[in-house]
Amino acid sequence: MSGPTIHGKTLTASAILREVGNDLSLIRQQDGLTWADLGKVLGRSDDQAAKYADGSAEMGIVAFGFGRREWGTRFTGSLDRLLMGCRVDAECDRGRQSHVLRAALALSVALEDDDQITPDEVRANRATIENAIGALEALLSKDTPR
């Protein structure tokens, strides 16, 4: 018996674990957290948090709820897109728009204090900027010669 189909794609347990794990790993990296920090938020041990991030353990609804409360769509965004039928945001125009707007906001905030974007601010927002570049490139690729 195959898994449920979401907008023409088969939804698999491994895809769900991968998307949640990738987002959890990214949060850990971006926020400079330890496995113990993640485990504390999720109400689990540090080794269990690491298993969630590498996709080797399924997360219960309580831990998922704690993560959602703490990190919002940073934690659930990839899973949300998967359930909407878009494996990653780069495959959905709505996700592409969000990437561009997130980068615009980050750059705007960086300019607020001194009207300049420093190397440290670029470094802090690198993933956001790169996601926006990828989103814009994906949109430009739609313009094929006639």
Residue 145 lies in a domain: no
Same domain, 29 and 82: yes
CATH of residue 15: 1.10.260.40
Same domain, 64 and 116: no
Residue 122 lies in a domain: yes
Confidence at 80, pLDDT banded by 50, 70, 90 = confident
Highest average pLDDT, of 4-13, 76-85, 121-130, comes from 121-130
Q: Residue 89: pLDDT above 60? A: no
User: In 60-146, where do the E strands start and end?
Assistant: none
**Considering the chain, what is the average pLDDT of its residues?**
85
Q: What is the pLDDT of residues 50-75, one digit of tens each?
A: 999 999 999 999 999 999 999 887 88
More confident residue, 97 or 10: 97
C-alpha Rg value of the chain to the nearest Å: 17
Same domain, 110 and 78: no
Same domain, 65 and 134: no
Dig out the tokens for 47 from the structure.
């080794």
Same domain, 115 and 96: yes
Global pTM reads 0.57
Return all residues near 49 (Cβ < 8 A) that are at least 6 apart.
24, 35, 36, 38, 39, 42
Q: Residue 104: pLDDT above 90? A: yes
Read off the pLDDT of each residue in 24-48 and give the average, rounded to a whole number.
95
Number of domains in the chain: 2
Same domain, 70 and 107: no
Read off the pLDDT of each residue in 93-104 and give the average, rounded to a whole number.
89
- Rounded to the nearest angstrom, the gap between the alpha carbon of residue 98 and the centroid of all alpha carbons in its chain is 12
Domain residues for the domain of 111 are: 90-140
Residue 146 lies in a domain: no
